[in-house]
Amino acid sequence: MSRFTLHALSVGIAAASLSLSAHAATEITWWHSMGGELGERLSAIAEDFNASQDEFTIAPSYRGEYEEAMVNTIAAFRAGEQPHIVQIYEVGTGTMMAAQGAIYPVYELMEEHGNNFDPSDYLSVVTGYYTDTDGNMLSMPFNSSTPILYYNKAVFEAAGLDPETPPTTWQEMGEMSQQILDEDAASCGFTLAYAANWVGLENFSAMHNLPVGTLENGFGGLETEFTFNGDVQARFWDQLKEWSDSGAYMYAGPANGPDAAPAFYSSDCAMYMNSSASRADVLANSDFDVGFGMLPYYDDVDGAPQNSIIGGATLWVLSGHEENEYTGVAEFLQFLSSPEVQAEWHQGTGYLPITTAAYELSQEQGYYDENPGADIAIEQINLNEPTENSKGLRFGNYPQVRMVLDEEFQNVLSGDKSGQEALDDAAERGNQILRDFEAANS
């Protein structure tokens, strides 16, 4: 019986023993976007909290994918039926920040209702994404991840490559991919999830210490403009086009690249870049030894490699509820941040630990020794102290901009535009989206 199963069973017994007093508990509603096993693990955390005390009951509720949950939350707030806590993805941060009056900033909540809350306990590279310009935490990090490289060791051996040495630069990525094709070890060298945005532009820019936009990538105000159309980003998109034509790279589709994972699992593509939180799925679906590496970089670009940025989601607290209910929200967030809860969540899902204590506890438990490659993501986000270009992004209506980037990247792959032309057009279209957001929120 797995530890997770044992956990679920013990929680069930504890919950049953408290059933007589549960009716008096104050209910705290938590809307989220995690289905499947992740949803079960999330529910297990809530049940654990409920079993730990009898004043409050956390009631998690799945509300669809991130975008759908965000739209539903806005509609619920307007109707006065908002949850206490909602999970919002990282690109929705700018929109949530602009919703003044609708959110209860976490740092204020914990100051007024929390116990022993110390912001310095949290990993700065994680919390930096979700703080205001004064360093105050606005939402609580929950499921944070960063993209890493997965590779097929069997294909590497078949191609005559060292299975213990993944590429570290984009130059090596091209050379190794070509060797894999030449030796007929696989039908493509590598593929990417989020090719036009999170991996292929946002993290690419961060790893090369290049800005995505002005005003600290949008952290400094709504007047920000996109600057992701630089020479290095254009060079990369042009190179992806060349590699796509040669077969070294396989385009896996827009958004999260739905064809990327199947191509890697089937050994059609030897290498694959996606979230560190994909680790469990990669290991479960691959019948070959999987190697892990950091994202490649151009070694002729000054400042590279810098550090990668995170993705995932945080928990936002919404206004409009009773004071005693916020006491329960604060207690739950404190519980959620405990080293034991965070270490189990990190180890079971592949998401990053949000506190130093959870990372150190995982080390003490021997998790990284027993699971080689599991700490690659942590090493990568901590390669260097984050700069204005590598601490994250904060742009209003950014999901719309990502759709524009997908369209323009496909124009490059089809040969209709060069990388520079496509990124110039994407910046112009994206800036109009920013101006619309600014006008609506000024």
Q: What is the mean pLDDT of residues 233-261?
A: 97
Q: SS3 sequence, 151-216?
A: EEHHHHHHCCCCCCCCCCEHHHHHHHHHHHHHCCCCCEEEEECCCCCHHHHHHHHHHCCCCCEHHH
C-alpha dist (Å) from residue 253 to 235, 397, 426, 429: 20, 22, 18, 21
By percentage, how much of the chain surpasses pLDDT 70? 95
pLDDT band for position 17 (cuts 50, 70, 90): very low
Tell me the chain's radius of gyration from C-alpha atoms: 22
pLDDT at 431: 98
pLDDT at 301: 98
Query: What is the distance of C-alpha 179 from the center of its chain?
Result: 32
Kindly report which listed range (6-10, 88-92, 274-278, 435-439) carries the lowest average pLDDT score. Answer: 6-10
Residue 2 has pLDDT above 80, yes or no: no
- pLDDT tens-place string over residues 90-147: 888 888 888 878 999 999 999 999 777 888 888 877 888 888 878 889 999 999 999 9
pLDDT at 22: 46
pLDDT at 126: 84
Q: What is the mean pLDDT of residues 150-166?
A: 98
- The pTM for the full model equals 0.87
pLDDT at 36: 85
Whether the Cβ atoms of residue 143 and residue 312 lie closer than 8 Å to each other: yes
Residue 7 has pLDDT above 60, yes or no: no
pLDDT at 23: 56
Question: What is d(CA 266, CA 286) in angstroms, rounded to the nearest whole number?
Answer: 8
pLDDT at 19: 47
The first and second tokens of residue 312, run together, are 């995932």
